[in-house]
């Protein structure tokens, strides 16, 4: 029996091991829930077609090295699976082609990557060692290159793929149109097929710029002009000629505001600063895979980030017309401050594109073992060392600061701990309030330094959270902290981040209208007395016509009355589940905005704005 089948053993054994290993990793490493036997069957069979297609490449090589090539293919598939696992542990998402090639970021996120490594990860590759010794046995020979052998492997792979896609399409109609839902794609297509599909998407989007023309931007311009909100005369020009200081608070979610750990406030300074500022307590982040860089893009450009990858990496040379370029026309000098590598997220290139005059990155700071943590310079020395540069900036200026300390995995030095940790079984959740508290303290000292230097009284100061800090992977521990179950409805509410706008001479006020990062650009421009022009999807937060709409990259939408997420409609205030028809309007509005904004970026449509103005 062995002699009759030995010529197929190398491919059969390798395919079987990779198939079973992939399925086991689906169940142990990813959150891919199935509700019935059909979904479980799809999940079980979907790795097999791509494994067989990949192994069919061995037929291109001579018999002498065919087993070696088989092992190399097995290693590459295992490596791809492991990379996805690491990415999923951190972001609760699957990697895309644009992110896969952002290798220049890897060195800068070392601590975050190390936090995702576990000793049992060696099992991802132990099967390769087993295969190596199996192939050394005489009974396992490379399969012969014959037409019938090639045909059998390819035909089997094709049939499995057809069955897989057929079952998936029955279970989830129009599956391939849901490019935003990577979890659904992986669950139905499989990890390997998903990456092939993602590569096709990348090729498609790369072609959009070549096919775009000025007609495309006219539609976008008409939409955003119709949506735009007239400035509130009580606020328009209220900060005209003032310096603009914007602070991005790394991974800071709204739920920490006003919250305590063992009777001690997590954000004592922010709690007080809110009382003398405008505080938006229903302000949502809208970032995608670009995280902090996406938030930067949102607030400066009032365009949505991309569904795959980060705009800063994939489209840094597009034509843009954002806040730095606009306020430069009104005499402002602009600069970004960041205690990290200047090339992280491709910032050094992107900042030049969008018109910043200067970028104070790590080479401008003294960074050593005592003041470095996570990605770079701790927040307290970061702000302290930045003061000499701020004092030298031509006024009025736009200065944007990106904090770093409160970053996953929320490491801290003992001398920097000002409050207790949480007491759960999850170290990420436990440490989170400690680093938030440290950043709060750093901002407090920075504000005091601005006062001492006489800059505070001539500046509007905006503080905002850039994106979530605790991902869905840590819901179980976070539920203990919040004292409630985190449902899809509650998960959307957790995407709120703080927004604090301090205007000299203005009294504090909490504003509960639904708002999002995309609204900051028109808000800032109107406060400075500058009329908004060009394309912007957000609306002025102080306008009486502000559109209460927050659209997320996963197509969730929040309006004044409704929350749409996970294909379910909720009443925003009560959480009561409503009929799906109740959310049809905001769902379609969200889809329209994302589609139009994506078209602007993929097609580089703002290069046609002069033509559009004359149309």
Tell me which residues are annotated as active site. 292
Distances from the Cα of 514 to the Cα of 248, 523, 581, angstroms: 20, 14, 21
Q: CA 355 to CA 103: how far, in whole Å?
A: 26
Nearest one of 52, 46, 59, 70 to 16, comparing CA atoms: 52
Q: CA 291 to CA 468: how far, in whole Å?
A: 9
Q: CA 594 to CA 286: how far, in whole Å?
A: 11
The alpha helices in 302-359, defined as continuous H runs, are 311-314, 323-328, 347-354
Is 164 within 8 Å of 197 (Cβ atoms)? no
Q: Omega before 409 cis (within 30°)?
A: yes
Q: Omega before 478 cis (within 30°)?
A: no
Tokens of 201: 């998407």
The gap from C-alpha 7 to its chain's centroid, in whole angstroms, comes to 47
Question: Residue 402's beta-bridge partner residues?
Answer: 248, 338
Nearest one of 389, 428, 383 to 409, comparing CA atoms: 428
Q: What is the DSSP string of 45-75?
A: HHHHHHHHHHHGGGGGS-GGGHHHHHHHHHH
Using the CB atoms, write b or e for 272-310: b if 16+ within 10 Å.
ebbeebbbbbbbbbbbbbbbbbbbbbbbbbbbbbbbbbb
Q: CA 329 to CA 500: how far, in whole Å?
A: 26
Task: For 146, list phi and psi in degrees, rounded to 5.
Answer: -130, 150
Instruction: Compute the C-alpha angle 212/535/562, nearest 5°.
Output: 110
- Give the position of tokens 């030049």: 352
DSSP 8-state secondary structure symbol assigned to residue 136: T
Q: CA 597 to CA 216: how far, in whole Å?
A: 11
DSSP 8-state secondary structure symbol assigned to residue 456: G
């Amino acid at each position: 029996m062995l002699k009759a089948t030995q010529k197929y053993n190398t491919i059969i054994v390798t395919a079987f091991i990779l198939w079973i290993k992939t399925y086991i990793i689906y169940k142990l490493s990813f959150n891919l829930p199935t509700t019935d036997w059909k979904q479980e069957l799809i999940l079980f069979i979907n790795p097999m077609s791509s494994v067989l297609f990949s192994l069919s490449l061995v037929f291109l090589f001579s018999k002498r090295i065919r087993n070696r090539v088989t092992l190399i293919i097995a290693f590459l598939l295992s490596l791809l699976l492991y990379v996805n696992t690491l990415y999923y542990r951190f972001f609760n998402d699957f990697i895309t082609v644009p992110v896969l090639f952002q290798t220049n970021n890897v060195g800068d996120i070392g601590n975050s990557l190390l936090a995702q490594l576990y000793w049992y990860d060696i099992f991802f590759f132990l099967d390769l060692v087993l295969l190596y010794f199996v192939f050394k046995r005489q009974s396992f020979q490379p399969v012969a290159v014959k037409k019938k052998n090639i045909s059998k492997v390819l035909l089997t792979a094709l049939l499995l793929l057809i069955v897989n896609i057929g079952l998936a399409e029955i279970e989830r109609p129009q599956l391939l149109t849901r490019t935003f839902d990577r979890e659904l794609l992986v669950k139905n297509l499989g990890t390997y097929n998903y990456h092939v599909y993602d590569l096709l998407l990348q090729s498609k989007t790369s072609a959009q710029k070549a096919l775009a023309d000025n007609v495309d931007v006219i539609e976008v311009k008409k939409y955003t002009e119709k949506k735009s909100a007239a400035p509130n005369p009580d606020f328009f020009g209220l900060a005209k000629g003032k310096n603009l200081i914007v602070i991005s608070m790394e991974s800071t979610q709204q739920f920490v505001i006003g919250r305590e750990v063992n009777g001690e406030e997590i954000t004592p300074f922010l709690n007080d600063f809110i009382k003398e500022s405008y505080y938006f307590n229903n302000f949502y982040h809208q970032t995608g895979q670009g995280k902090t860089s996406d938030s930067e893009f949102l607030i400066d450009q009032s365009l949505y980030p991309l569904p795959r990858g980060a705009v800063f990496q994939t489209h840094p040379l597009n034509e843009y017309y954002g806040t730095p370029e606009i306020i430069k026309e009104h005499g402002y000098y602009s600069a970004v401050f960041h205690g990290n590598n200047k090339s992280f997220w491709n910032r050094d290139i992107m900042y030049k594109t969008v018109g910043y005059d200067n970028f104070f990155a790590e080479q401008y700071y003294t960074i050593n073992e005592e003041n470095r943590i996570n990605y770079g310079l701790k927040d307290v020395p970061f702000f302290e060392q930045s003061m000499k540069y701020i004092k030298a900036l031509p006024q009025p200026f736009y200065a944007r600061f990106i904090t770093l300390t409160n970053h996953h995995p929320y490491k801290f030095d003992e001398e920097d701990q000002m409050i207790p940790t949480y007491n759960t079984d999850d170290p990420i959740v436990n440490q989170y309030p400690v680093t938030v508290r440290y950043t709060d303290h750093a901002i407090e000292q920075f504000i005091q330094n601005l006062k001492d230097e006489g800059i505070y009284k001539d500046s509007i100061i905006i503080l905002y959270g850039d994106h979530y800090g605790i991902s869905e992977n840590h819901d179980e521990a976070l539920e203990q902290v919040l004292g409630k179950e985190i449902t899809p409805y509650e998960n959307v509410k957790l995407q709120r981040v703080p927004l604090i706008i301090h205007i000299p001479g203005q009294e504090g006020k909490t504003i509960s209208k639904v708002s999002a990062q995309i609204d900051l650009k028109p808000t800032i421009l109107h406060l400075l007395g500058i009329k908004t022009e060009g394309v912007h999807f957000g609306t002025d937060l102080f306008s009486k016509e502000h559109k209460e709409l927050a659209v997320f990259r996963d197509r969730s939408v929040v309006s004044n009355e409704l929350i749409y997420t996970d294909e379910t409609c909720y009443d925003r205030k009560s959480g009561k589940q409503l009929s799906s028809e109740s959310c049809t309007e905001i769902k379609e509005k969200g889809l329209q905005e994302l589609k139009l904004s994506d078209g602007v970026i993929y097609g580089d449509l703002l290069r046609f704005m002069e033509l559009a103005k004359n149309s």
